Structure 1
Amino acid sequence: MLQGASFSFNVPTIIEYGRGNLARLPDFVRQLGGKRVLVVGDPGVKAAGIVGRVTSTLEAANIAAFAFTDVESDPAVQSITDGIALARDKSCDLIVGVGGGSALDTAKAIGLMLRNAGTIRDYVGIGKVPHAGAPVIAIPTTAGTGSELTIWSVLSDTDADVKISIGSVHNLPRIGLLDPELTVSLPAKFTAATGMDALTHAIESCVNKANQPFTEALAYQAIALIHKSLRRATHHGDDIDARGDMLLASAMAGIAFNATRLGLVHAFALPLGNKFGIPHGLVNAIMLPAVMAYNASANPDAYARVAALLGHDVAGLSNSEAANHAAQAVHVLRQDIGITQTLADFGVTPACFDAVIGEAMTSGNVAVNPRYPTADDMAMLLSRGIDGTF
């Protein structure tokens, strides 16, 4: 970070962490004045019985609860419209989002639109939402997106065939309820992919041009926790301590990138996810080592620390030398947790590059990346994503 730099840092969301925290949900709803609650989840958390646990917990406390689980893995604008209609029909005054990033992003957007005019498309970008939405309590069941603590909702606009992002302080949940017990049923492959999403958030935040002391501390701690616990959480899903570490790491990384934005991995993630259906955490895992290797020379001090935090032996190396080991450390981690796919496995070919690069370069994450890429640089990174090298 440059001497004399200025920055802002704000964490208005209340974080409530603890095993069994779901039992406290009715108290939090009452604190926020909620009487009729829309519980937003996805089919997966519904099938796992978690949506039912949430609604039952509320109803046992005499709080009316209505479930909305029509949420895709890449939530469409139509889901927001349908959720708003149900919330209004049931006179809901508070939203509880439960699930992964898709469910939480949908819940936040529904809350926004209950108290703002127009459609969600009117607020694409950052800082365009005029009024606070209905209060939202976000309950993550994955440890990856950090959506319970971020200003962003990422949605699919199927009409335009693009992903859109809505960023606003009004899009922050009022409470992030973190209960590691709700994450133990997550299958290994999703634990791995969402964990790599959290790692990408942390790394891109702490190495980019907008990094600052508060975000740096959170991001580095998140990386340390992920190194300590992602392998255990993936291969021993009932390890509640590892699950708790990952939930905290995801939240910390979310707070960090909320203030800094991210980098080229996330610039690529939106078009690759939208055009080829690659799950968000997985596309991050595929692209992260290549982007790290490309960026290392632009911020060797930060990348050297990342390498050390990920357990790579950098003793006796200069920061420039150590920085070049960071990508290898991430590659080893993703192999250890079973992520071996490349972009080629999802049908990405050089013929697609221009369309992907064109959309990626419109991302606000490009400007804060440690290096500003040319189109040729972006094509090189996609090529490495195809063949799995870095």
Structure 2
Amino acid sequence: MNTRAPSVNWNYPTAMRVGPGRVNELPAACRELGIHTPMLVTDPGLADLPMVETALRICRNDGLKIAVFADVKSNPNGANVDSGVAALRAGWHDGVIAFGGGSAMDAAKAIALMAGQGRPLWDFEDVGDNFRRVDEAGMVPVIAVPTTAGTGSEVGRSSVITDDVARVKRIIFHPKMLPALVILDPELTTGLPHSITAATGMDALSHNLEAYCARGYHPMAEGIALEGMRLVHEYLPRAVADGRNIEARQQMLVASSMGATAFQRGLGAMHALSHPLGALYDAHHGLLNAVLMPYVLQANRDALEAPMERLARYLDLPQAGFAGVLNWILALRAEIGIPHSLEEIGIGTDQVEQVGNMAVADAAAAGNPLEFDAAGYSAILERALRGVV
């Protein structure tokens, strides 16, 4: 393993430019995709920061007519997407730059999808073959520039958008929602606070871990997930301890993209629970997965002895098997400051039954190693609320 952060180009699962300082290639990326009037989609917390100002200056100095859209919630909703589409059309923008964390990525990809559609957003929910309703000519290209290492949405073909009316998170999907070009620049992540680095890093772990454990035959995804977890094991503590560690920051960006590449195999109960909890409590998605992780792992233990044995060996953990992996996760959470229970992050006991019903209906439930009913999901939630692994 290199002890520095190399600059490389990849073409899997899409065109990727990886390395420090590569955000400076934004204008060239736009030209490559035929984008002349990009709309940069970000969130309010980033909109006025130097990194966004720098990206805008680079593009304007190259003659691009660029504007910013930042009306994006931490859990983006349908209204955010509608507003973004209106702004895109009003500015005659011919492409989108998704710049930020998972919320900006999801909103940006949905806005790019909806640019020229005649149907409402929810008509493209990932149910059956709804994606065939999309007018592909009405989509605009996306360049993704993640500033957190967690969701991996930059290499995903879907967006998670909250339906505020139904109070559920819906997955909007189309194969061409995959960004046409991705820039992974670790220098953009060095200013993240410790808490966000920890929560988003655990989100990357959750994607790799659930993909590794998911039902179904997909050895390629399993292999990617395994190496993604090794990168998290080695580099997440370093990134939290020293936010200026460029090597650690880059390896976590890569681990994040690997997790989202691997979870085409499936996800599981972590996400089946975090989606409704995020919709009901507007809580941070990565933090929810981080807190839920050991409780979901324990609930699936009967199906995981063999894969956890392999994982413990691959990570060279001091303790073998399932117990070794579980104890590593508990120790990692404690080391980087992840709360132990959901109650500690403001999740109450008032909607346990409702969350159980929503979890069993969530698309992520289909990949879980064991099949839980609503009562089973509620039981996991109750243990996570009390902190009883």
Same fold (TM over 0.5): yes
Deviations 1:263-293 (A, max 9, x none): 0000000111111222101110111111111
Out of 210, 214, 224, the residue aligned to residue 216 of structure 2 is 210
CA contact (8 A) 1:98 1:141 kept: yes
Tell me, what secondary structure is at the counterpart of 1:96?
Answer: strand
Q: Does residue 1:283 correspond to 2:311, yes or no?
A: no
CA contact (8 A) 1:265 1:288 kept: yes
Tell me, what secondary structure is at the counterpart of 1:205?
Answer: helix
Q: Partner letter of residue 305 of structure 1?
A: R
CA contact (8 A) 2:266 2:366 kept: no
Tell me, what secondary structure is at the counterpart of 2:351?
Answer: helix
Corresponding residue number in structure 2 for 1:6: none
Could you tell me the percent identity over the aligned residues? 35
CA contact (8 A) 2:215 2:266 kept: no
Corresponding residue number in structure 2 for 1:21: 22
Count of equivalent residues: 374
Q: What TM-score, normalized to structure 2?
A: 0.92
Corresponding residue number in structure 1 for 2:270: 265
Deviations 1:215-259 (A, max 9, x none): 1111111100001010110110000000011000001111111x2
Tell me, what secondary structure is at the counterpart of 1:275?
Answer: helix
Deviations 1:284-333 (A, max 9, x none): 0111111111212213221223334455224xx5xxxx123322211111
Q: Partner letter of residue 181 of structure 1?
A: E
Corresponding residue number in structure 1 for 2:135: 131
Deviations 1:184-213 (A, max 9, x none): 011110000000000000000011113511
Corresponding residue number in structure 1 for 2:103: 102
After TM superposition, give the deviation of residue 350 of structure 1 in Å.
4.1
After TM superposition, give the deviation of residue 66 of structure 1 in Å.
0.5
Q: Does residue 1:242 correspond to 2:248, yes or no?
A: yes
Corresponding residue number in structure 2 for 1:7: none
Corresponding residue number in structure 2 for 1:220: 226
Corresponding residue number in structure 1 for 2:367: 368
Deviations 1:69-106 (A, max 9, x none): 11110111111111111111111001001000000111
Gaps of 5+ in 1: 1-9
Out of 313, 318, 322, the residue aligned to residue 313 of structure 1 is 318
Q: Does residue 1:168 correspond to 2:174, yes or no?
A: yes
In structure 2, the CA distance between the partners of 1:119 and 1:58, relative to structure 1 (3 Å rule), is same
After TM superposition, give the deviation of residue 160 of structure 1 in Å.
2.0
Q: What TM-score, normalized to structure 1?
A: 0.92
CA contact (8 A) 1:233 1:239 kept: yes
Deviations 1:156-190 (A, max 9, x none): 11122221111221211111111111110111100
Corresponding residue number in structure 1 for 2:165: 159
After TM superposition, give the deviation of residue 349 of structure 1 in Å.
4.2
After TM superposition, give the deviation of residue 382 of structure 1 in Å.
0.9
Tell me, what secondary structure is at the counterpart of 1:165?
Answer: strand
CA contact (8 A) 1:108 1:136 kept: yes
After TM superposition, give the deviation of residue 11 of structure 1 in Å.
5.1
